[in-house]
Amino acid sequence: MVGTTPFGHAAPKRVSHPGTGALSSFERAGLQFEVTDVGPPEGRVVIMLHGFPEDRFSWSDLATSLAGTGYRVLAPDQRGYSPSASPKGRRAYRIAELIDDVLALADAAGTRRFDVVGHDWGALVGWALADRRPERVRSLCALSVPHPGAVRHAMIRSTQALASSYVLFFQLPRLPEHVLAGSGGRLLARGLERSGLDHATARRFASRGAEPGAMTGPLNWYRAMPFDAGSLPGPVTVPTLFVWGDRERFVTRRAAEACASWVNAPYRFVVLQGRTHWLPTTAAGEVGPILGDHLTATAD
């Protein structure tokens, strides 16, 4: 492909400017984010946002597939995951900062409007983006995690509070880092596998836990949640696709089904039978055609 930075291969460290070709990184407020940019430079831009404890390479299969059909796909290592974009303090991980990071990436790529595909925490950023900056978001695809309002609705109507109990633990200072680093990250890897992630990917994600201090940034996403408790996204007004696996461990069916109430635009809800939380890596072959149809249906 012309003007691409292939997934899984190192590229020269540089920050491109709008219109100059593929990005390998972008800057915002003194932070430098690593990014993979695949597909034709003139293609319609799709920004893919990973979740916890993933990275931009979790999108490899889906991004390569989209790029092969003419889309330009941008997949950043988000705040707390890029080594040069891991500010200290939980306030630096408020949702407004996460949104502005994505907008800075779009600006660096020279695009005004873009499609958002998010998984896990990346989906939550996508919901907030679609609510607060709908003029920038052409469409939204959320994988695994529905609108926060749907999750809140399900808290008292299902076992969602139990499914989300780990969130409280992650907000504690220092202890989560210690636990996740246990046995050189093997404890985290085993937990990821129990929730449905394949062994090789679980080990790769968990390797971050073995590095001193490397999990603090990702965990600060959870620790910043109290600062955003009073400003949850409202109903979104952009075309939306929500994909959920019926073996999902962290989001109940009640929360998934309630998501429709939070979209005032064309909406499609797809349930993948037998699939777990980790849709980008374990169900890319099923998600790809569904996502492709969604993007085609939302063309300008």
pLDDT in tens, the chain (300 residues): 233 334 443 332 334 433 335 899 999 999 999 999 999 999 999 999 999 999 999 999 999 999 999 999 999 999 999 889 999 999 999 999 999 999 999 999 999 999 999 999 999 999 999 999 999 999 999 999 999 999 999 999 999 999 999 999 999 999 999 888 877 888 899 999 999 999 999 999 998 877 878 999 999 999 999 999 888 899 999 999 999 999 999 999 999 999 999 999 999 999 999 999 999 999 999 999 999 999 999 987
The CATH number of the domain holding residue 90 is 3.40.50.1820
**Structural domain includes residue 11:** no
pTM for the full model? 0.92
Assigned domain for 17 exists: no
Distance CA 162, CA 154 (A): 11
- Domain span at residue 209 reads 25-297
Q: How far apart are CA 220 and CA 215, in angstroms?
A: 9
pLDDT at residue 18, as a whole number: 36
Domains contained in the chain, number = 1
Is the bond into 41 cis (omega within 30 degrees of 0)? no
Look at residue 18 and tell me if it is in a domain. Answer: no
Q: In what order do the strands lie in the sheet with 25-28?
A: 25-28, 31-38, 72-76, 45-49, 114-119, 137-143, 240-245, 267-272
Residue 291 lies inside a defined structural domain of this protein: yes
The pLDDT score that the predictor gives to residue 7 is: 44
Which secondary-structure segment (H or E) carries 114?
strand 114-119
Residue whose structure tokens are 């679609």: 130
pLDDT of residue 300: 78
- The whole-number pLDDT of residue 211 equals 80
Tell me, yes or no, whether 7 lies in a domain.
no
Confidence at residue 294, expressed as pLDDT on a 0 to 100 scale: 98
Predicted local confidence at residue 9, as pLDDT:
32
Q: Is residue 9 part of a domain?
A: no
Residue 16 lies in a domain: no
- Residue 116, strand partner residues: 47, 140
pLDDT for the residue numbered 21:
57
Is 277 among the domain residues?
yes
Alpha helices in the chain (DSSP H): 60-67, 95-108, 121-132, 148-155, 160-163, 166-170, 175-180, 186-194, 199-206, 216-223, 225-228, 253-258, 279-282, 284-297
Q: What is the pLDDT of residue 20?
A: 39
